[in-house]
Structures are given as C-alpha cells and as structure tokens.
Chain A
Amino acid sequence: MAIPSSISDPFASKFLPLSSSSYNPSRISVPAQITAKIEQTHLTALRRSQCSSLKASMGSPGFTQQLNNSKLDTLAEVKDGRDDIFNDLKDRFLSFKKNVYMENPEQFESLAKVQTPKFMVIACADSRVCPSNILGFQPGDAFTIRNVANLVPTFESGPSETNAALEFAVNTLLVENILVVGHSCCGGIRALMGMQDDGSTSFIKSWVIHGKNAKVKTKVSASNLDFDHQCTHCEKESINHSLVNLLSYPWIKEKVENEELSIHGGYYDFVNCSFEKWTLDYRGTKLEENGRIVTKNKVFWS
C-alpha cells in the first residue's frame, strides 16, 4: 500500500505551517491491523518510535509542554487482552496532538473559547463516509450530526437527536449552510427499500421509515431497475426529501427565505470516488406546484 510522504496541504494557510515537513499526513488510511506490516511510513514513526510523553499545562492556553525522549509506558497496562485497544487509542491521540494540535496553538486556543462553524453537516454513521475525511473538514469547520442513512425527520415527527442538533446549529451557532451528505451502498437505505409490512418492529425500521416518501417516489420512477439500482436511486431521492423536510422547521424556513441560510445536498460514491453537490433553489421550489424540488449550482467531481 503506497503511503505518501509529506504533501503540501491546501489547508496550509488555515491550520498548518506552510513547510510541508511539519505536517505528516497521519490521516492516511492504514487500518490498525496492517500498521505493523508497514515499515517506512510516517505513521509508524510517529506512533511507535518517537518521543511521546507530552504534558500540557492545565487551564492556561499557553501550552507549555515538555517532550521527553521516553517510551510510551506511562499508561498502566490493562491485563485483560484489551491492552491493544488502549495503546491503539493512545497512539492515535498522541499523533493528533503532536502533528495538529501543537502545531497550531493559536487556532486551538481561539477554538477553545468558541466555535463558529459555517457548516452543519448531516451524514450517515457509515464508517466509510466521515465528512472530516472525505470533505476535509478541520476542527471548527462543521457541526456534524451522524445517524443511520443521513435522514432528517420532519418537524411534526417530534423531538429526536437530529432536530435537537438542527435547533442548536441554526438558532444558536447560526450556521450559514446545511449540507446533507448521502452515499453509495447505504445499509439504511437498503433496509428501507427492502422493508416489508409484516408487522415486525425494530429500531432500524422505526427510524428509516422517516425516508418512506423517498421509497415511494423511487418505486414509482425507477420500478424498471433492479434492486441495487433502485437503492442507488433512493439514496439520492432521500437526500432531496431530507432537504424538503428541513424546510418543515419554521426557523429554518425563515432563514432560508431571508437568504441567511443555504441548504445543500451531496452524494459521495465511494465505488468510483466521485462527489456530487447541489443547492436547494428555494424560490424555484416554492413556485413548483407539484412538490418537486428545484436545485441549482449542481456540480460533479470525479
């Protein structure tokens, strides 16, 4: 597996010093079980062999620290076979701390006081589609909610964790953009499409039912396609229905009308590595009588 050496980062001006040597792209994908097999990577060097005992002063944001050239043995060993997990998590955090946190003290200092993200992102909990990875959101950029199948329930459906987060992001943090990101091979959408009305209940069923309008529309417009392609169709349809559901919240609708808030949909295809994005055209959608959503600024990158 090819692991690149330091590469200049487009976010250099925001978080990272311009010299590429200090930014080690430890965000390279290396599943934990493969780490040991790779000899010459920055990741290995950072996590295992370097000085790693870091101390930061409490409270004051001055971040006085000492780097000791001692091995990582400060954490008491847990003797029940889960040592690996503790060590793994320890290494992960220390690598972040050394390469990102301590390289950008001013940014983290100001973030510690307050967050002012421009985006709210609603994404699926799927391990392959974290917005921080695929869209490069850095600390402070995006207030993120992740649930099964990136669904947005309607205002009328009552309290849920998704609308609590919406309320906070829109009314308190005053985000300027809401982005709903769907993706290929979504298990939640598949469950929605395959759901039978056989009286059985489960949490998954009770949740994905929030996307039932997308399922109905897909069954109507894509009935000639096979199940897999219907699911792909539904993944995209469901994003648009979530965008419409966002407008059912009065405080969201008001801000969109006043052009203080934009609503966007995005679709990440991890089979072909492509990303599509579009913006809800509020005025256009209002004018459409048949409930169809109108979009603008549609873009596709692959």
Chain B
Amino acid sequence: MLSKHCKTCKRSLLVSAPIISKYFSLHRKGITMANQSSELAIEQLKKLLREKEELNGVATAKIEQLIVELQGCHPNPIEPADQRIIDGFTYFKLNNFNKNPELYDRLAKGQSPKFMVFACSDSRVSPSVILNFQPGEAFMVRNIANMVPPFNQLRYSGVGATLEYAITALKVENILVIGHSRCGGISRLMNHPEDGSAPYDFIDDWVKIGLSSKVKVLKEHERCDFKEQCKFCEMESVNNSLVNLKTYPYVDREIRNKNLALLGGYYDFVSGEFKLWKYKNHVTEPVTIPLKGLDMTI
C-alpha cells in the first residue's frame, strides 16, 4: 500500500530537486506494482542518469540510491485482493490504454457503443471476455439471470434507466441478451417454491420475472429431468426478455424504424458453444385483392 512506504524512500522525498520528485511517483509505482512496472521505473531512472548530463552530484547520488532501493526493496506486504487489482489495472494500462492513445482520447470525450448487452452477473460469463468487447463497444447491464422485466413505470427503474439511456442518449443499434448454462438464478426460478425452501428477501422477487418461461418449459418438456428443464428455461428466459424489451415504447419505436435489432444468445461453458439468434417480428406487405373481373352487382 502506498501509505506504507519504506522509510528510506520517504526520506529521499525531502530532497527538493524537481527531477527527483517527478521520478518519485515512478518509484512509488515501482514498489506497489507488478514486476513489469518496477522494471519500467528502473529503466526510466537509468535513462535519466544517462541523458541528463547537467545533473549535479547530489541529484545523481539520489537517483542511484532510488535505483538500488527499487531493485532490492522489500515493501510491506499488500493485501492479496489489492494486489490482484493492482496487477489487473497495470496490465490494462501498459498493454491496452497506453498503446491506443487515439482511441482512449476519443472515448474520454464520449461513448458511442453499437451494442447494448444484457448478461448474467455470473463470474464466468463476462461478455468482455467471451465476446471480446473492448472499451467503448458495449453498454453492458449485468444482473441475476440476465433478465429484462416488462415495462413498468412504478418499479424496475434500474433496468428501465439503462434502456432509457442506451436508446435515447446512446442510440445503440443492437440489444443482445445472453443466457448461459448452469445459471443459479434460473435454477432457483425452477426450484422454488416447490422445494419448500425459505424464501430469499430479494432473489425470488427478481427471478419471478421469468415465470412465464418456467410455465412454458414445464408444459413442453415435462418428461425431461430437472437439469434439462433448467437448460431449456435458460434459453426460453432469453426469449422472454426479448419479448419484454418490446414493451418499452422507445425500443418498439426504434425497431419499427429499423434502427434497432434484438438478438438472443446462449453461452454454454460446459460444451464450449455459443448460440446466437435474432428476434424478428415480421409484418408482410399488404396484398391488394384485385377488383377487375368481379361481379360488383350484388
């Protein structure tokens, strides 16, 4: 943690030379970040020594001292959770952010994602991983069992707010709802209340959005075992969410204007497969019944 520096490092901060203070932050990074960063810090300091010939003896000595400390520093132990986040952010910054300055410059000013994605909160199904969405590509909502409730102005404002923002402000072109295998939320929906277990405070209220899919699956696949029924329900619930999406007036309007497409997906991490389909609501062109040749005298 940054707040617990090596005492020797803190003492060196007291030197007023601007060059030293500029590279002190690099030194702090070197202590707390993964190997990649401390090597970078050492490299930068060595480069400074090589290139800045006008450094006086004091500054040179201090920089050499910093290099030694970075190389042999034993910082106070960092919490594993914090270290995990440090490593992740460092990797992103060095290998992605810093290498794509034009993109991130543009993204800093605004976002214009083509996709809106609904996915489950399950730790195994992040769409950024399985579909490689990079920053700026997908406005992403994650909740239990990737559900979209029907339009209801009195409740479900969380989902409503995301749709309102995505359609009216961001003008996304595609909404993709992704279900997945072994979904705990769907399993609960299928299990409860028949299993007689005590109700949860909030989970049961949420998953019952998918009740119509449960009814449908129990009817159409009543001979299947529970696991298979859950699998059918995971996919049926995606379709239920797609149907619910159309109940939002602005979603319906954009679909009619052909500005928006609704897509369904299913990620099966047991078999390593991905299913993709479209929700189509097709109205054919009218056919004119000809009047020619008809006897009009009735």
Which stretch from B14-22, B87-95, B218-226, B284-292 is at the chain A interface? B87-95
Shortest C-beta distance, B128 to chain A (Å), equals 4
B135 touches A128 (CB 8 A): yes
A182 CB within 8 Å of chain B: no
A-B contacts, 16 of them at CB < 8 A, read A27-B134, A31-B137, A78-B278, A82-B261, A95-B132, A118-B84, A125-B140, A125-B166, A127-B136, A132-B129, A135-B92, A136-B92, A143-B121, A159-B202, A167-B203, A176-B81
Residue of B nearest to A58 (CB): B271
Kindly list chain B residues whose C-beta atoms are within 8 Å of the C-beta of A10. 34-36, 87, 90-91
List which B175-204 residues lie within 8 A (CB) of chain A: 176, 181-182, 184-185, 200-203
Kindly list chain A residues whose C-beta atoms are within 8 Å of the C-beta of B99. 1-4, 28
A204 CB within 8 Å of chain B: yes
A229 CB within 8 Å of chain B: no
CA distance A162 to B269 in the complex (A): 25
Shortest C-beta distance, B102 to chain A (Å), equals 6
Write the B133-166 contact mask toward A (1 if CB under 8 angstroms, else 0).
Answer: 1111111111110010000010011111111111
Known: A136-B87, A148-B161, A176-B81. Is A115-B123 also a contact (CB below 8 A)?
yes
CA distance A88 to B28 in the complex (A): 42
A28 touches B276 (CB 8 A): no
Write the B76-111 contact mask toward A (1 if CB under 8 angstroms, else 0).
Answer: 000101101111111111011111101110011001
User: In the complex, which range does the number of interface residues on chain A fall in?
Assistant: 35 or more
Shortest C-beta distance, B153 to chain A (Å), equals 7
CA distance A161 to B135 in the complex (A): 24
Kindly list chain B residues whose C-beta atoms are within 8 Å of the C-beta of A172. 184
A128 touches B269 (CB 8 A): no
Q: Which 4 A-B pairs have the closest CB atoms?
A: A136-B88, A203-B160, A207-B161, A29-B134
Kindly list chain B residues whose C-beta atoms are within 8 Å of the C-beta of A134. 88-89, 92, 135
Residue of A nearest to B157 (CB): A206
Shortest C-beta distance, A245 to chain B (Å), equals 14
Shortest C-beta distance, B51 to chain A (Å), equals 23
A145 touches B143 (CB 8 A): yes
A29 touches B100 (CB 8 A): yes
Looking at the complex, which one of A128, A141, A166, A204 makes contact with B107 (CB distance below 8 Å)? A128
List which A175-214 residues lie within 8 A (CB) of chain B: 176-177, 179, 184-185, 187-188, 201-204, 206-208
B122 CB within 8 Å of chain A: yes
A299 touches B87 (CB 8 A): no
Known: A2-B99, A59-B270, A147-B158. Is A163-B182 also a contact (CB below 8 A)?
no
B135 touches A125 (CB 8 A): no
B272 touches A63 (CB 8 A): yes
Kindly list chain A residues whose C-beta atoms are within 8 Å of the C-beta of B182. 112
A239 CB within 8 Å of chain B: no
Inter-chain pairs besides A32-B114, A299-B2, 13 sampled, C-beta below 8 Å: A29-B136, A31-B103, A127-B137, A130-B135, A133-B92, A133-B135, A140-B124, A141-B84, A144-B142, A146-B140, A146-B141, A159-B202, A271-B108
Which stretch from A100-108, A230-238, A283-291 is at the chain B interface? A100-108
List which A86-111 residues lie within 8 A (CB) of chain B: 86, 89-90, 92-93, 95-97, 100-102, 108, 111
CA distance A148 to B143 in the complex (A): 12
Most buried by B among A10, A145, A172: A10
Known: A29-B100, A90-B276, A133-B92. Is A140-B162 also a contact (CB below 8 A)?
no
B206 CB within 8 Å of chain A: yes
Shortest C-beta distance, B138 to chain A (Å), equals 5
B126 touches A139 (CB 8 A): yes
CA distance A241 to B182 in the complex (A): 34
Residue of A nearest to B99 (CB): A2
Number of B residues near A (Cβ < 8 Å) is 98
B44 CB within 8 Å of chain A: no
Known: A1-B103, A2-B100, A270-B108. Is A30-B134 also a contact (CB below 8 A)?
yes
A143 touches B122 (CB 8 A): yes
Looking at the complex, which one of B123, B142, B278 makes contact with A139 (CB distance below 8 Å)? B123
List which A114-128 residues lie within 8 A (CB) of chain B: 115, 117-119, 125-128
B271 touches A59 (CB 8 A): yes
Known: A56-B272, A262-B81, A301-B33. Is A132-B128 also a contact (CB below 8 A)?
yes
B82 touches A145 (CB 8 A): no
B163 touches A132 (CB 8 A): no
A275 touches B272 (CB 8 A): no
Looking at the complex, which one of B1, B95, B97, B142 makes contact with A25 (CB distance below 8 Å)? B95
Shortest C-beta distance, A267 to chain B (Å), equals 12
B32 CB within 8 Å of chain A: yes
Kindly list chain B residues whose C-beta atoms are within 8 Å of the C-beta of A40. none
CA distance A108 to B131 in the complex (A): 16
Known: A1-B102, A161-B144. Is A96-B108 also a contact (CB below 8 A)?
no
Looking at the complex, which one of B123, B139, B202 makes contact with A142 (CB distance below 8 Å)? B123
Shortest C-beta distance, A238 to chain B (Å), equals 15
